[in-house]
C-alpha cells in the first residue's frame, strides 16, 4: 500500500506542477504579451524576465511538491495508526 501511495504522490506532484505551469504561462502571456522565457527562444529576452520566470515557477513548483509530499506522509501515518489500532483491538 505504501508503494501505491508513493506512486500516487509522484503522479499528483507532476500533475499539479504541470497544471500550475499552464496557469502561470497564461498569466505571464496576458501580463507581458509574450510567451514565458522557457518557451520563447528569443535571444533578446531580458535576463530580468528569465530570472523572474525561473523564480516564480521554482517557488510554485516546490510549494506544490512539498504540500503533496506532506499530504501523502500524513495519509500513510493515518493508515498506520488505523491498522495498529485495529490489530490492538483484535488482541
pLDDT of residue 28: 96
**39 domain-assigned:** no
Q: Residue 68, Cβ neighbours under 10 Å: how many?
A: 20
Tens of pLDDT, residue by residue over 4-51, are 888 988 999 999 999 999 999 999 999 999 889 977 677 888 899 999
Residue 38 lies in a domain: no
Q: Are residues 54 and 77 in the same domain?
A: yes
Residue 70 structural domain: 44-90
Q: Which long-range contacts (CB under 8 A, 24 or more apart) does 59-65 make?
A: 60/17, 60/20, 60/24, 61/17, 61/20, 61/21, 64/13, 64/16, 64/17, 64/20, 65/13, 65/16, 65/17
Domain identity same for 21 and 54: no
Number of domains forming the structure of the chain: 2
Model pTM above 0.95: no
d(C-alpha 15, C-alpha 76), whole Å: 20
Amino acid at each position: 500500500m505504501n508503494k501505491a501511495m508513493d506512486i500516487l504522490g509522484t503522479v499528483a506532484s507532476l500533475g499539479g506542477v504541470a497544471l500550475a505551469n499552464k496557469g502561470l504561462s497564461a498569466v505571464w502571456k496576458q501580463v507581458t504579451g509574450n510567451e514565458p522565457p522557457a518557451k520563447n527562444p528569443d535571444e533578446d529576452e531580458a535576463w530580468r524576465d528569465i530570472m523572474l520566470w525561473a523564480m516564480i515557477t521554482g517557488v510554485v513548483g516546490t510549494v506544490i511538491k512539498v504540500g503533496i509530499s506532506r499530504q501523502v506522509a500524513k495519509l500513510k501515518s493515518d493508515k498506520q495508526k488505523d491498522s495498529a489500532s485495529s490489530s490492538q483491538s483484535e488482541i
